[in-house]
Amino acid sequence: MSVRAKICGLNTPETVAAAVEGGASYIGFNFYPPSPRAVTPEAAARLGASIPTSVAKVALVVDADDRLIDAIAEALAPEIVQLHGAETPERVAAIKTRTGRKVMKVVAIATPADIEHTRAYESVADLLLFDAKPQPGGLPGGNGLSFDWRLLKDARWPLPWLLAGGLTPENVAEAIRSTGAAQVDVSSGVEDRPGVKSPEKIRRFLRAATS
């Protein structure tokens, strides 16, 4: 099985280059201001200028208003908008229509009930991303937390999906085997400290995920 990988929260030319050269299928830019990985639309545009068309640029937002959505679409022209907040199915559909881009909806997972919550987005999103539910007061993602991968074992979706949450170069291969994931996403698992990505960890993650 050929696994596709997304490296999220990049903010330097060196880490973008490591992701591209390592074979990432997606590169994510974080536009959530409280995150240590946050970038502006203008900074993301500069970083994204070197990304080849074979690699999809992903814009991560959290309950963003139309003004920010428009600024990102104009500056970065992402292929995918990743919605990591409490966006309703109606808001997902509205953003897809407004931008003309594919939309990836993130669903926070802790229990079987959270899996069923995903069904509401099947008709409006283009991709799904399953991440660990954050601790109260924590960031929506990038916390290094994982969830019980067994929750995904027998579930099926009509949309492509990605596995996230606590993945690292050391455990991503096992996560793929346990869930059957064809796509994976990492942020904090390839960092030296919050917001500071390691080019070497990015390369190791990509080798472990895609080999």
Per-residue pLDDT at 52: 98
Q: 28-79 pLDDT, tens per residue?
A: 999 999 999 999 999 999 999 999 999 999 999 999 999 999 999 999 999 9
Domain spans of the chain, in order of start: 4-210
> What distance in Å separates the CA atoms of residue 123 and residue 112, rounded to the nearest whole number?
20
The DSSP call for residue 188 is G
pLDDT digits (tens, 9 = 90+) for 73-114: 999 999 999 999 999 999 999 999 999 999 999 999 888 888
For residue 195, report the phi and psi dihedrals to the nearest 5 degrees.
90, -5
Q: Would you please indicate which residues are annotated as catalytic (active-site) residues?
A: 8, 131
Confidence check: pLDDT of 154 > 80: no
Q: Quote the mean pLDDT of the chain.
A: 93
DSSP 2-60: PPEEEE----SHHHHHHHHHHT-SEEEEE--TTSTTB--HHHHHHHHTTS-TTSEEEEE
CATH number for domain 4-210, candidates 3.20.20.70, 3.30.70.100, 3.30.420.240, 3.90.1200.10: 3.20.20.70
Beta strands 102-109 and 80-83, pairing class? parallel
Residue 143 has pLDDT above 70, yes or no: no
- The structure's pTM equals 0.93
